[in-house]
Structure 1
Amino acid sequence: MTGTRTEPANPRRSSSDAASHHLALMLTLTFVTGLVDAGGFLGLDRVFVGNMTGNVVILGMGAAGAEELPVLGPAIALATFVFGAGVAGLSLRSAASGWSRRLTAVGTASVLMVAATAVLTALAPTDPGVVTLSAALTACAMGIQAALARKVGVADVTTVVVTSTITVWATDMFARPRRTTILNRRLAAIVSILLGALVGALLSTVALWLVFAIAAGIGAVVVAMGHRSAVSRVRGAL
């Protein structure tokens, strides 16, 4: 009886598949950033919960006495973002590159914070205390997300910043126009956050809590898919 020969796995192909999978997950989280930033700016007293550059600028103008610009909200969001990124970075310091079970735990914490914001804004969307707490929770979640994305290590896709991505994309578009794969990846990150902001703004006109509920749902799917890929990779190595 002749046995069926099993072809050995191609390490190069496996690595390429993992990279494509991670890219898709990080682009999805970039969309989530656009979503919650729109919700934060439009519904949480003009606070950016993911884009800290915007908060620093608003904070500076508000501190200078610019009319009707908040100071407390951006300051709290900035502080909690740093806290979330710092704690997540510390917990992931010894984790392997790519997705791991530790990333699943960190990502789950981020999702739960955004889900809590959805509940809070559903119960009391205009209460000043709820607005401040919601901004703090979501900014902390985005800080965690940024640390997670850094550990996954998809080049040019930080999930929370696109200014540097736009700069490199524009530079390479003229200097290295043949690098279409990299150019397309950078463009995809820019478009993802743009579409997220568009959808977030539209959802905000319906209900603010809906923005954060959908963001939490998408984040949960990303974490589940990332965890599944990590488990599959471990089993494949056995």
Structure 2
Amino acid sequence: MLDRMRRNPSNAHLSLMLVLTFSTGIIDAVGYLGLDRVFTGNMTGNVVILGMALAGDTDLPVVGPLIALVGFMGGAAAGGRALRGAAAAWTARHTVLFGAVGVAIALAAVPASLLDTEHVALQYAITATLGIAMGCQAAAARHVAVKDVTTVVVTSTITGLASDSTLGSGGGQPWKRRAGAIGLIGAGALTGALLLEVHIGAGMALSALLTLGVAWLGHITHPGRLDRLAYDQV
């Protein structure tokens, strides 16, 4: 399998980004169901929740989604700065960023597993950590640039799948990757919801393992020599 991934880095990157899409579904299920209706990966959901909450008398959260939004933007900014000037392929910096995301999610899982997450301050701390991590992941995935797979949202993917279908323009499309991204984020959300029945930290632990696995596989299968040269020249 590793040899096939090395020979075809484009397919390898697609597979790895699809795994992260599944992982995002898990994290968003944990956030929405376990952290008082907060999305830490899908910022569109947070913006909509904040807009409705501002109407008043909606019983919708404001602070949690706002923390997630600010954290996500901070993580994305940090990821973008770290990748400034990097080659448009998997580099050592991508490995570090995805590894850091996995570690951050794992660190968030520890207090979630050991402490009472009914405490609002702990919920906000976990929300901030996950928001930063998912923003960094989104920036790194954007730089890897696998078409139609952002790892954090699928609205544009759904649009492309429908628009380019035989009922739409009928122009042909990479429907397998689009359908895969849509299905996997939903499957991740289902998995995250089911793992909440075990413990709130269980979904985060699985997401952390998946993300660290992606970082490791990406590192050992990317065309290392060219990437290291590009990295060293920056």
* Structure-2-length-normalised TM-score: 0.90
Superposed, which structure 2 residues align to 1:149-188 within 5 Å? 149-174=141-166, 175=168, 177=170, 179=172, 182-188=174-180
Q: 1:237 to 1:150 in 2, by over 3 A?
A: closer
Q: 1:15 to 1:173 in 2, by over 3 A?
A: farther
Q: 2:214 aligns with which of 199, 222, 227?
A: 222
Partner residue in 2 for 1:29:
20
CA distance in 1, matches of 2:5, 2:65: 43
Q: 1:144 to 1:235 in 2, by over 3 A?
A: closer
Structure 1 residue ranges without an equivalent (≥5): 1-12
> Does residue 95 of structure 2 align to residue 104 of structure 1?
yes
Deviations 1:73-92 (A, max 9, x none): 00010000000001110110
Give the SS at the match of 2:149: coil
> Does residue 41 of structure 2 align to residue 50 of structure 1?
yes
Partner residue in 1 for 2:197:
205
Q: 1:178 to 1:48 in 2, by over 3 A?
A: same
CA distance in 2, matches of 1:89, 1:58: 26
RMSD: 2.1
Stretch of structure 1 that moved more, 38-47 or 125-134? 125-134
State the 1:177 CA deviation.
4.5
CA distance in 2, matches of 1:106, 1:149: 10
State the 1:108 CA deviation.
1.4
Q: 1:121 aligns with which of 90, 112, 121?
A: 112
Q: 1:162 to 1:14 in 2, by over 3 A?
A: closer
Q: 1:83 to 1:224 in 2, by over 3 A?
A: same
State the 1:101 CA deviation.
0.3
Q: 1:217 to 1:88 in 2, by over 3 A?
A: same
CA distance in 2, matches of 1:24, 1:45: 32
CA distance in 2, matches of 1:195, 1:236: 33
Superposed, which structure 2 residues align to 1:55-94 within 5 Å? 55-94=46-85
Deviations 1:10-40 (A, max 9, x none): xxx9997111000000000000000000000
Q: 1:70 to 1:25 in 2, by over 3 A?
A: same
> Does residue 188 of structure 2 align to residue 191 of structure 1?
no
Residue identity matched to 2:11: S
* Structure-1-length-normalised TM-score: 0.89
Partner residue in 2 for 1:9:
none
Provide the identity percentage: 46
CA distance in 1, matches of 2:123, 2:51: 21
Give the SS at the match of 1:173: coil
CA contact under 8 A between 1:99 and 1:229: conserved in structure 2?
A: no
State the 1:233 CA deviation.
3.7
Residue identity matched to 1:221: G
